Amino acid sequence: MTNRRNFLAMLAGMGALPAWAVRARFASLSDPVSSAQLASDPLRPQYHLLPCANWMNDPNGPIYWNGNYHMFYQYNPDGAYWGDMHWGHAISPDMVHWRHLPIALAPTPGGPDSAGCFTGTAAVQNGRVMMMYTGVRAVSVNDATVKDGDPPLRESQCLAVSADPDLKTWTKLPQPVIADPPPGLEVNGFRDPSPWRQGEGWYTVLATGIANQGGAVLLYRSKDLRAWEYMHILVHRDRTGLAGLDPFDPWEVWECPEFFSLGDRHVLIFSTAGKTYWQSGKLDEQEMTFHPEQAGIVDYGSYYAAKTQLDKAGNRILWGWITESRPLAEYKAAGWAGMMSLPRVLALDRDGRLTFRVATAVNRLRAREQALNTSAPESDVRDQLASFRVEDCCGEILCTAKRSSQPFALAISGSDESAPWLTIAYDPNHRDQVFIDSRPIPHSLPAAANLELHLYADGSVIELLVSGQIAFTKRFYYSEKLPQALRLHWTGSITAIATLSIWQIIPISKDRLTT
């Protein structure tokens, strides 16, 4: 996985080491961590999904099935480092309260996935759930689609079938359903299938990078999910316009592509260079060509490899892997790494831009509310705000603020003396931007619209949504051994606050093991 491999190495602060070196370095860092240590770690979240221990990355095959939501994910059973990719499995009645189930997919010795079961997608055919995923095996460099590994790896697309109502047991087809990249195309990667039903047949997109040209998404079609025909490149980097991302990497791969209809348009989501991007536009269903019209970034923070599903009401739900931003030695020693984002409902605005909101099911976790009385005298309002606390960094904050002629900033921290964990600022000289940790990020709100700042804080993560247009996931870490109480700090005009409420969030398990 050239692109993701370098991204993981970047997260670890090690430079672009090959995966085998990353795994070897990780494995030598510390001894296994006990359940008691994990449960008492104040940095572990209390209402985000993550394994009881070890490494998690991409969401895989999320699906609503037989009255429950199933989340599969990339998982290393050996420790808190990337490697030995299995599929973990959790089940939920509501996308919020999760229970872990046994590992769903594991590498098959001698099979096309003998070196790992990589990312994939769920599909339903004839009343059974199918998982189409990427298997990898060690090969010579001449046969590899990932040439910089040790050993080099060959990626192919595999299929597993479950007749189990709880999706606990799976039967793999012995041979890949797409064994090779398109002939004549020199690729940097060949992975992450995402099939969907359309008309009488099936289509899937696949991630790739074209050598020395950049990332691309391939399109295939099938009548039965088993025999696939390559059609053409659906979209690719063109160095200009909507597909012109910066900077250019000749080894770039557009990973984890998702392609789906939303309203009267289609949306493409893909991940590369540490960020997840979206494009929206029109699909010519006769030619199966995509014409992007709008584009943007799904999340500006520690968020990658997004995956979607339909919920029981037919809403398009987005999940993402929340990555670590601390050094590899720290998360290896902690015994866990990575978590799943909260479910986000996707929609398009009238101009075709992608919008986000956290699923309302999360509201059921709200407990004690602290609401700011904005009609009180200014000194009383400031005193109220200074007294607000989110205990154990486990809460939700919802603030609407007027874009007036005065600047303001909202900072989140663990104490009055500590450096802010996150700062959101508004400057009337830049009315079409917000500044998140001093970074200017554009929005397209009407001139009279308030800013809506919606934050979900949990252990060592904050998911921030700004007016449904901007998402920013922030990881923060502190050295104290006990959970910290989150505090708010407002600078600038207090009259800019239209409303502000804080809720304590009810943990989804009795400890921090999410079981």
Residue from 35, 45, 68, 59 nearest 509 by CA: 45
Question: Which residue's entry shows tokens 């090779």?
Answer: 180
pLDDT of residue 417: 73
Looking at the structure, tell me whether residues 472 and 382 fall in a common domain: yes
Those residues whose C-beta lies under 8 Å from the C-beta of residue 488, and which sit 6 or more positions away, are: 385, 388, 397, 410, 411, 412, 502
Q: Which of 31, 58, 150, 311 is catalytic?
A: 58
**Domain assignment present for 62:** yes
User: How many secondary structure helices (H) and strands (E) does the chain include?
Assistant: 5, 33
What per-residue confidence (pLDDT) applies to 418? 79
Among 242, 194, 236, residue whose Cα is nearest residue 214: 236
Residue 318 lies in a domain: yes
Q: Based on the domain organization, do 239 and 335 belong to the same domain?
A: yes
Answer yes or no: is 511 within a domain. Answer: no
CB 56 within 8 A of CB 49: no
Which one, of 40, 49, 119, 50, lies nearest residue 80 by Cα?
50
Sheet holding 439-442, edge to edge: 439-442, 433-436, 422-426, 408-413, 487-492
Spatial contact of 301 and 309, defined as CB atoms under 8 Å apart: no
CB atoms within 10 A of CB 162: 19
Residues 169 and 54 in one domain: yes
User: Which helix (H) or strand (E) element contains residue 379?
Assistant: helix 378-387
CATH number at residue 183: 2.115.10.20
Residue from 253, 455, 257, 459 nearest 339 by CA: 459
Handedness of CA 491, 452, 272, 61 (dihedral sign): positive
74 within a domain of the structure (yes/no): yes
**Domain check: are 385 and 433 in the same one?**
yes
The answer on 247 and 287 residing in a single domain is yes
Q: Which of 310, 341, 372 is the last residue of a domain?
A: 341
Residue 289 lies in a domain: yes
Examine residue 118 and state whether it is found in any structural domain, yes or no: yes
CB 443 within 8 A of CB 435: no
Judgement on whether residues 331 and 380 belong to the same structural domain of the protein = no
Domain boundary among 341, 372, 389: 341
271 and 417 fall within a common domain: no
Contact (CB, 8 A) for 304 and 320 = yes
- Measured in whole angstroms, the distance separating CA 279 from the mean position of its chain's CA atoms is 16
CATH of the domain at 426: 2.60.120.560
Domain presence at residue 42: no
The angle that helices 2-12 and 19-27 make with each other, rounded to 10 degrees, is 30
Going residue by residue through the chain, which has 515 residues, state the pLDDT in tens, using 9 for 90 and above.
545 656 565 555 544 333 333 434 444 444 689 999 999 999 999 999 999 999 999 999 999 999 999 999 999 999 999 999 999 999 999 999 999 999 999 999 999 999 999 999 999 999 999 999 999 999 999 999 998 778 899 999 999 999 999 999 999 999 999 999 999 999 999 999 999 999 999 999 999 999 888 999 999 999 999 999 999 999 998 766 666 677 778 789 999 999 999 999 999 999 999 999 999 999 999 999 999 999 999 999 999 999 999 999 999 999 999 999 999 999 999 999 999 999 999 999 999 999 999 999 999 999 999 999 999 999 999 999 999 999 999 999 999 999 988 999 999 999 777 799 999 999 999 999 999 999 999 999 999 999 999 999 999 999 999 999 999 999 999 998 889 999 999 999 899 999 999 999 999 999 888 76
Same domain, residue pair 321 and 393: no
Report helix, strand or coil for 358: strand
Active site residue 192: no
Q: How far apart are the two ends of the chain, measured CA to CA in Å?
A: 31
The tally of domains found in the chain comes to 2
Which burial class, exposed, middle or buried, applies to 238 when counting CB atoms under 10 A from its CB (0-12, 13-18, 19+)?
Answer: exposed
Cβ(56)–Cβ(340) below 8 Å = yes
Distances (CA, A) of 131 to 9, 61, 62, 194: 28, 7, 10, 10
Asked if residue 420 and residue 288 are part of one domain, the reply reads: no
DSSP state of 78: T
47, two tokens: 């209402």
**Residue 271 domain boundaries:** 2-31+48-341
